[in-house]
Amino acid sequence: MILVTGATGKLGRLVVEGLLKQIPAQQLAIAVRNPEKASDFAARGVQVRRADYSQPDTLQSAFAGVEKVLLISSNEVGQRLEQHRAAVAAAKKAGVRLLAYTSILHADTSGLALAAEHKGTEELIRASGIPFVFLRNGWYTENYTENLAPALAHGAIVGSSGEGRIAVATRADYAAAAVAVLTRPGHENKIYELGGDTPLTLTELATEVARQTGKAIVYKNLPPDQYKGVLTQAGVPGPFAGVLVDSDLGAARGELNDTSGELRRLIGRPTTPLADAVAAVLPR
């Protein structure tokens, strides 16, 4: 039995869909905090178990009888280490034989503020003694393509990442990597640095959006305070805006770049080209 947490999230849904193409639904369970959101999966024969990362007891019952777990990192930044600690303890108690975890690119050396909870979680998993796989995911292409409306309205993509290259890949690409490590042998105690085949700068992103829309769109690099101001004005809560600015500054230092090709090798195909990801969100 394979169990996926965070399965009602955007990445989790793609992982479940990918697994359902490879294994019978009866061999798949998901642990979600709101089972109603997973009624479609239940109707297809997937076992839906309720578990909240902040309620350790629920994790322990959800993980019972499971052989492999994909722990999709929580999105509750700041609470994640304790939440993941509970998940790792539950996996240990359940005798899980493989714990895959969606981490962050170069988690052990990254200077990004976001990396700290991932690094801490990796350490907890190692200390547990459970055979693990760290899927160190780079940035999602969708971090940009899902947020193009202001760029189209103002003719500019803004950020503080300078000309730093960012090895973006789509959620579907990262989901395919998770499916690969869960369904094929030989991934125990491996660490995969995962990024897209063609790392991009935000200038290149702006050029591609301009090309496909026929509009004048440029990348405008802003000093960190100004970028934070843009984000907070757009409704991003202050602390999270700070985290996003910090990530951009990390990208400017090259910390979100990767040219290892490990994602391409794991999924056995090229990663999704930027042009396709942009086209997917523009009106036809």
User: In this complex, which beta carbon is closest to ligand NAP, that of residue 16 or of residue 217?
Assistant: 16
Q: Could you tell me if 168 and 144 are in contact, meaning their C-beta atoms sit under 8 angstroms apart?
A: yes
Q: Least distance to ligand NAP from the beta carbon of 193, Å?
A: 13
The torsion defined by the Cα of 34, 40, 45 and 46, in degrees rounded to 10, comes to -40
Closest CA to 124 of 135, 115, 136, 132: 132
Q: Least distance to ligand NAP from the beta carbon of 152, Å?
A: 21
User: In this complex, which beta carbon is closest to ligand NAP, that of residue 134 or of residue 139?
Assistant: 139
Q: Least distance to ligand NAP from the beta carbon of 214, Å?
A: 28
User: What is the crossing angle of helices 115-128 and 80-94, to 10°?
Assistant: 20
Task: Quote the strand ranges of 105-223, DSSP E.
Answer: 132-137, 156-159, 190-194, 218-221
Q: Least distance to ligand NAP from the beta carbon of 215, Å?
A: 25
Residues in the chain: 284
User: In this complex, which beta carbon is closest to ligand NAP, that of residue 35 or of residue 218?
Assistant: 35
Q: Least distance to ligand NAP from the beta carbon of 54, Å?
A: 5
User: In this complex, which beta carbon is closest to ligand NAP, that of residue 52 or of residue 197?
Assistant: 52
Closest CA to 147 of 89, 95, 94, 205: 205
User: In this complex, which beta carbon is closest to ligand NAP, that of residue 17 or of residue 52?
Assistant: 52
Q: Least distance to ligand NAP from the beta carbon of 1, Å?
A: 19
The strand pair at 156-159 and 190-194 is best described as unpaired
User: In this complex, which beta carbon is closest to ligand NAP, that of residue 35 or of residue 131?
Assistant: 35
Tokens coding 11? 């990445």
The CB-nearest residue to ligand NAP is 9
Query: Which parts of this chain interact with ligand NAP (CB under 6 A)?
Result: 6, 8-12, 32-34, 37, 52-54, 72-76, 83, 102, 137, 139-140, 143, 171
C-alpha to C-alpha distance for 57 and 258, rounded to whole angstroms? 38
